[in-house]
Amino acid sequence: MSIHLSGGRGTPRRVVLSCDVAGCPVQREPPSIEHWRSDTDALSWAREHSVGWTSDPIRRTDYCPEHAQFSIAPAAGVIPPRPTAAARDQAGNPLDRDGYASDLRAHLTDRSLSTGSESTLTAAQASVVARLLDELAGIYHGESLGALAGELSVQVERGAGG
């Protein structure tokens, strides 16, 4: 949940909204309200008084003005934006996962990146890498990034004699 409520007995109720895009540090604290307000009322108050912020009530997420497009429901048949959790562009914005997977696939076949010597993982390291790739494949099941992770997991296991 991106909303943090605080305030003790008799003190104004404070609400802090945090942007739900992975890695976005933006937070907003609208003016405090009466301490007797319910959590639901306090959350509504905060959202109403945070200009430019959007929310998605179905996913229970909030987005800063820069990432407001993530709360817009996509048109039928359109895949909504799927930002990466860690990979960023030069400006620090999350990449689209499908584009990122495509770039990684191209990176795998780029012969100009060959150094001439191949580094080797131990069997234990390869097993751990394969398990991490399996986890990634499970998280992004049905997406191109998940498919790439699954394929690489099999290759790593095969290369380690598994």
Return the domain boundaries, the chain.
Answer: 3-71, 95-108+120-162
pLDDT at residue 2, as a whole number: 46
State the burial class of residue 11 (Cβ atoms within 10 Å of its Cβ: 0-12, 13-18, 19+): exposed
Whether the full predicted model's pTM is greater than 0.75, yes or no, is: no
Matching residue, tokens 């380690």: 160
141: left (phi over 0), alpha (psi -120 to 50) or beta: beta
Kindly give the confidence (pLDDT) of every residue in the chain, 162 residues in length, as a single tens digit, with 9 standing for 90 and above: 345 566 666 677 788 888 888 778 888 888 777 777 777 788 888 888 888 898 887 778 888 998 888 877 767 777 777 888 888 899 888 889 899 999 999 988 876 666 666 678 888 888 889 999 998 988 888 889 999 999 999 999 887 665
What pLDDT is stored for residue 152 in this prediction?
94
**What's the DSSP call for residue 111?**
G
Q: Who contacts 104 (Cβ-Cβ below 8 Å, separation ≥6)?
A: 148
Task: Output the CA angle 43-48-52, nearest 5 degrees.
Answer: 115
- pLDDT (0 to 100) of residue 151: 93
pLDDT of residue 1: 39
CA 162 to chain centre: 32
